[in-house]
Structure 1
Amino acid sequence: MSGADGGPQARLAVDCRCTLGEGPQWHAEAQRLYWCDILNGRLHWLDPVSGDAGTHDVGQLLSLAAPLATGGLLLVGEQGLSRFDPASGDVARYCDVEADNPRTRSNDARVDRHGSLWFSTMGKAAEPGAGSLYRLHRGTLSRLRSNLTIPNAICFSPDGDWAWFTDTPSGVVMRWALDADGWPLGEPQAWADFTGVSGNPDGAVVDVEGHLWLALWGAGQVVRIAPDGRLVARLQLPVSQPSCPVFAGRDLDTLYVTTAREGLAADALADQPQAGSLFAVRPGVRGLAEPALRLGQGSVTGA
């Protein structure tokens, strides 16, 4: 597979065929890439050096496994956040999130430059306005935004001055100024408009040059966007529903992309049998090292 402009070629990394692949996350200490099959409650992993891969069935819908500064992972799941030990398989609830609302589940998530977790919720049937955007900072859980439908594209500038996110059906990626502690300032502003193109903005990650790599669900593409909002490169995938990219590997020079099979008819799956699998490409630029998640002491407050 080559880029839409004849650029670098991508390859099939793991033929996992997730129903809804999401949340790729590089665990630098373990040298493992983790990603989720949201609807099947399955956590996948890959060792990029050896090629070894495997899964953990965690018994709940989940969308991210964030490396913890104290070891292990924090699962962003259907009704809350849980600590997870990959060695033993033990899961321990950390805090509830919308546990009293059976209509919603977690969706996009990423750790910010301060080691705090931003994550979103959405309706299980993508009910309009059912979703929210949260930040977990040192044991305080805050709701940053509500009345969202499919919140996605959570990522952060290299200097931590900006956050990005989108409500996928809107077609517009928003940029939000942050203060010195990583909290939003004022209202987010429209930054990149995809309403007039094929595909909808989904997950995103930022590279070392401050450019945003954005998956376009339905278009089979990951696009690179400059800090001023200009689209400067495209990567074409052999499947139509990329969900989220991440930089991984020892040198953070490989871009991995999760994809999905959800909603594809039989004829579409016949044309793209590897839909839902994990793909990889060397884009010629490195990613940013993302901080491990730092949790506060004691019980969670807020939200």
Structure 2
Amino acid sequence: MSAEVFDDRRCILGEGPLWHPEREQLFWFDIMRHRLLSRDASGPLEWRFDEPVSAAGWVDTETLLIASASALWRFDVRDSSKTQLCRLEQDNAVTRSNDGRADPWGGFWIGTMGRTAESGAGAIYRFYQGRLQRLFSEITISNAICFAPNRSCAYFTDTTTKRVMRVALDRNGWPEGDPVVFLDLTPDGLNPDGAVVDKSGAVWIAQWGAARVAAYSGQGTFLRVVDLPARHTTCPAFGGAGFRTLFVTSARQCLSAEVAHDQSPHGQTFAISGVAEGLPEPRVIL
């Protein structure tokens, strides 16, 4: 199976792909250019913000929850109006938002990180029933936030550790007990980035610098790999008909101008059909 270019705009740091199940439309971000991107029948779409934006969940047909460097926002895609839901490290100029995803209870997990990956500057939070609560601290690069289909656990990583963690969840979706290592990629020298779980419970993880997305069983066993033409894959999402298309964002960041030139694939957004069957992203309940 080969990756096709879904959108040829070359992001500096493409991230946070979200398939909106009611709109049947993919949204994603170019963090460093402060842009929310999408496509519909009319062609490419773009919304600009005054600070970095990185992750989203869907609230209803016209509304997204969007994470920015300073807050979580209710955002209307029709008229670009936004309302602040809560502050997010607003008084900390060092950090910005990074990876995030809705949980099966209608909450939203969001990670932060230092703008230049300052060691331990970030954290992971949960926004639930109108309240933001810190879950894990001293995170350098928050990534791989996703959830088991049976609601038993959440996954996340600090990319710099090369380890993906798993934490059990209680009946309301809160962490229960300490995180344990789900997957240690240190022996392979791989850097876990964004992740999503498919219908079977397999975890699909973009691996920064390796030009691929790899799938692992719920027990951490390697299953398969999908190669991509962009070196820095950042995050996967399932969407399309039957949720059988794997969309993958990528980045030009940290590549030389000779490598990431205007005809290169780096930073583009890709689609691979038929690799697995995903699940619709849960609705964020505000």
Any runs of at least 4 consecutive aligned residues in structure 1 with deviations exceeding 2 A, and if so which? 50-53
Give the aligned partner of residue 118 of structure 2.
127
The one-character-per-residue Cα deviations of 1:48-71 (angstroms, maximum 9, x if unpaired) are: xx4732111122200012211484
Secondary structure of 1:267 counterpart: coil
* Residue pair 1:69, 1:294 contacting (<8 A) in 2 also: no
Q: Identify the residue that residue 99 of structure 1 maps to in structure 2.
A: 90
Segments of structure 1 that go 5 or more residues without pairing to the other structure are: 1-7, 296-303
Contact kept, 8 Å, 2:23 with 2:61, in 1: the verdict is no
Answering whether residue 2 of structure 2 is matched by residue 9 of structure 1, we say yes
Q: Is the 8 A contact 1:25 1:65 kept in 2?
A: yes
Per the alignment, residue 29 of structure 1 pairs with 22
What is the letter of the counterpart of residue 15 of structure 1? Answer: D
User: Corresponding residue for 1:253?
Assistant: 244
Identity of aligned residues (%): 43
Aligned to 2:233: 242
Structure-2-length-normalised TM-score: 0.97
SS in 2 for 1:169: helix
Select which of 284, 287, 291 maps to 2:278.
Answer: 287
| 1:272 to partner: Cα distance | 7.2
| Corresponding residue for residue 264 of structure 2 | 273
Is the 8 Å Cα contact of residues 201 and 215 (structure 1) preserved in structure 2? Answer: yes
State the match for 1:186 in structure 2.
Answer: 177
CA contact (8 A) 2:62 2:77 kept: no
The alignment covers a number of residue pairs equal to 286
1:300 corresponds to which residue?
none
Q: Deviations over 1:137-158 (max 9, x none)?
A: 1112110010110010000000
Change (3 A) 1:272 1:130: farther
- Larger deviation, residues 265-274 vs 158-167: 265-274
Which amino acid in 2 is paired with 1:267?
Answer: E
Partners of 2:61 and 2:109 in 1: CA distance: 18
Instruction: Check 1:213–1:91 CA distance in 2 against 1; reply closer, same or farther (3 A cut).
Output: same
Q: 1:72, 1:85 within 8 Å by CA — same for their partners in 2?
A: yes
**What's the TM-score, normalizing by structure 1?**
0.91
Amino acid at match of 1:20: L
Q: Which has the higher strand share?
A: 2
Aligned to 2:65: 74
- Establish whether residue 142 from structure 1 lines up as the match of residue 133 from structure 2: yes
Question: Which amino acid is 1:260 matched to?
Answer: A
Q: How is 1:81-230 mapped onto 2 (pairs within 5 angstroms)?
A: 81-230=72-221
From 52, 75, 86, the equivalent of 1:61 is 52
Match of 2:11 in 1: 18
